[in-house]
Amino acid sequence: MTEADRPQDARISEAEAIERAKSGDSDAFRVLYDLHKRRVYSLCLRMTANTAQAEDLTQEAFLQLFRKIGTFRGESAFSTWLHRMAVNVVLMQLRKKNLPVVSLEETLEGEEDAPRKEPGAPDRKLSGSIDRLHLQRALEELPPGYRTIFLLHDVEGYEHNEIASMIDCSIGNSKSQLHKARMKLRTLLRASKTEAAGKR
């Protein structure tokens, strides 16, 4: 069912839905799910780049949320609480699978620190040409550690101190990895643009 299919429930405010969910109202759970499913699922999908895993993690994140909803006292925004929980679920899963939450790609160290320009290569500036689809594809090609930091900072909007505490690294490391992630994305996006131009 889509949000549009639920005109009555959609009128319930988030605060009301939280209170009703605390007493076990199934419609309230559904309202909360509908309000936040896209953002949570998108986060899980970007982090894992795998639809089945993203669905499992979304399910787990919401289940954890609903199990703990009785303890929610409203000191922080509900969405903040939920998204933090979703991030933790994903990070825990990545750790279980021994996937790096901080980049271990030593070979990339320093490579992205300076812009490279190959002699004679056409100058494919990105300016104004970064669309969602290209960025999404480039993101999928990023090493998992870089991807995590980029997603947490630039997509989800967490600060470096929050990221450092989430993934147990230093603030400096978080900043450095973010910069490398952006540099790598730039390289990937430029390559993609050059490839597209070559096909024309």
Partner 1 sequence: MNCAEFQGLLPEILDSGETPESKVHIHSCPECSDLYVELREISQAAVQLRAGEEPNQRVWNLIEIALRQEGLIRDTAWAGPTLLPTPARRWRGAWLAPIAALLLVMTSGIAVLQHVSQRQPLAALNQASTIEAGAAEDQELLNTIGERAPALRATYAVDLRSIDSYIHNAEDTLKSDPTDEEAQRALMGAYEQRAMVYELAFDRP
Q: How far apart are CA 64 and CA 74, in angstroms?
A: 17
Residues 110-149: x where in contact with partner 1 by CB under 8 A, - otherwise, as a string? ---xxx-x-------xxxx-xxx--xx--x----------
> Is residue 182 part of the contact set for partner 1 (CB under 8 A)?
yes
CB distance 190 to 124 below 8 Å = yes
> Is residue 72 part of the contact set for partner 1 (CB under 8 A)?
no
What DSSP letter does each residue of 37-52 carry, written as one string?
A: HHHHHHHHHHHH--HH
DSSP state at residue 113: T
Q: Tell me how far, at minimum, the Cβ of 24 lies from partner 1, in Å.
A: 3
User: Which H/E stretch holds residue 197?
Assistant: helix 171-199
Q: How far apart are CA 177 and CA 34, in angstroms?
A: 33
- Interface residues with partner 1 (CB under 8 A) are 1, 5-9, 23-27, 29-30, 33, 37-39, 41-42, 45-46, 52, 54-55, 58-59, 62-63, 66-67, 113-115, 117, 125-128, 130-132, 135-136, 139, 150-151, 154-157, 175-176, 178-179, 182-183, 185-186, 189
